[in-house]
Amino acid sequence: MHGDRPPEITEAALWREWRGGPNVHCFLCAHHCRIAPGERGRCGVRENRGGALYTLVYGRPVALAVDPIEKKPLFHFLPGSMSLSLATVGCNFACAFCQNAEISQMPRDEGRITGRYLSPGQVVEAALESGCLSIAYTYTEPTIYYEYARDCARLATAAGLKNVFVTNGYMTAEALADIDGHLHAANVDLKSFSDDFYRTWVDARLKPVLDSIRRLHSMGVWLEVTTLLIPGLNDSDDELRAVARFLVSVSPGIPWHVSRFHPTYRMRDIPPTSLASMERALSIGKEEGLEYVYGGNVPGHATESTVCPDCGETLIEREGFRLRKNRAALGRCPRCGREIAIILKEVSE
């Protein structure tokens, strides 16, 4: 499935000369890097060569796997289906708690870019052969390999597949406008509701992420949001209420996944999130009006399942990433008739 020939160096999208060159201005993400000749952007995979910006990871996936869509996590988009998941190296964030740092931070930490060639056509072919209903651009940040993801997505749409971004939400309005019509679902990491947190632990800012969440929802992209709960850093009641209130202001039907933190990368001195803390966060989400809240990294916990916001009937029963029972196959609660915010397989086929 992987080809032997190396990919061509591909000119990047969404850049322009900066003040007449030879520096360039990249406006793919909200960092808006100004890059001198021979230098790379903060993502580590976009380089100014002779006054033009090039992507160094086009067609070079470093990870390729068939995953349940629930692993993204997307619980209300094509539930029970499989998704071909791929990533290249690199990221425009520098999260101290990154769970995929070995590939996302490889250009920054090791000065390396790796991956074997796989064309967009081969990606789509692999998805179809694997019986997947979607392609998920995940594991690292899809924005930084945007040209590759966009070209895969366009071919996937033509083949009847859906496209999913698992993203930090730092893309620009221009990037979303460019892929509009070919992005069908997204799970956005809302890492905190504190700009100080973003600046200290992520090397980014909060506002562009909030803007992307609003923009994705207004575009009609199916949207779910994940917050990794880190003890002592983003788990105060006030902050959790602020997250929940923001999501409700966009739509109370946005599913919110609250995941437990495990020590990793540069944040090994902080203990794992307690179950009680996660459950408190989920309770706050419900109190503030969110209709669907889920616990993450807690296999077997009751909050993995979807319940009717009105009558409390269990609609979709999950165990880990496995769907055990789906009673919402018609998009309504069979007990009270409440319409459920969900995109079902039948709609996509």
**Share of residues in the chain with pLDDT > 70 (%):** 97
pLDDT mean across residues, the chain: 94
C-alpha to C-alpha distance for 113 and 87, rounded to whole angstroms: 12
* pLDDT of the residue at 21: 86
Sign, Cα dihedral of 215, 216, 221, 226: negative
Return the sign of the alpha-carbon dihedral for residues 293, 294, 296, 302.
Answer: positive
pLDDT in tens, 208-263: 999 999 999 999 999 999 999 999 999 999 999 999 999 999 999 999 999 999 99
What pLDDT, on a 0 to 100 scale, did the predictor assign at position 302?
Answer: 85
What span, in angstroms and rounded, lies between the C-alpha atoms of 164 and 138?
8
pLDDT band at 196 (very low <50, low <70, confident <90, very high): very high
Which pLDDT score is estimated for 9? 79
Query: How confident is the model at residue 8, as a pLDDT?
Result: 60
Give the span between the Cα atoms of 210 and 147, in whole angstroms.
23
Report the top-level CATH class of 63-348. alpha beta
pTM of this structure: 0.95
pLDDT in tens, 319-346: 888 899 999 988 999 999 999 999 997 5
Q: Please check whether residue 164 is in contact with residue 185, taking contact to mean a CB–CB distance below 8 angstroms.
A: yes
- For residue range 48-85, what is the model confidence (pLDDT) as tens digits? 999 999 999 999 999 999 999 999 999 999 999 999 99
Residue spans in the chain of domains classed CATH 3.20.20.70: 63-348
The arrangement of strands across the sheet holding 306-307 comes to: 306-307, 314-319, 322-326
Task: Identify whether the C-beta of residue 89 lies closer than 8 Å to the C-beta of residue 115.
Answer: yes
For residues 98 and 265, give the distance between their C-alpha atoms in angstroms, rounded to a whole number.
6
**Residue 118 confidence (pLDDT) above 60:** yes
Amino acid at 319: E
Per-residue pLDDT band for 347 (boundaries 50, 70, 90) equals very low
Q: Three-class SS string for 31-49? A: CCCEECCCCECCCCCEEEE
The model's pLDDT over 162-187, given as tens digits with 9 standing for 90+, comes to 999 999 999 999 999 999 999 999 99
Assigned token pair, 99: 């769970």
**Which pLDDT belongs to residue 133?**
98
Let me know: does 84 contact 137? Beta carbons within 8 Å: no
- How far apart are alpha carbons 204 and 54 in whole angstroms? 23
Residue 348 has pLDDT above 50, yes or no: no
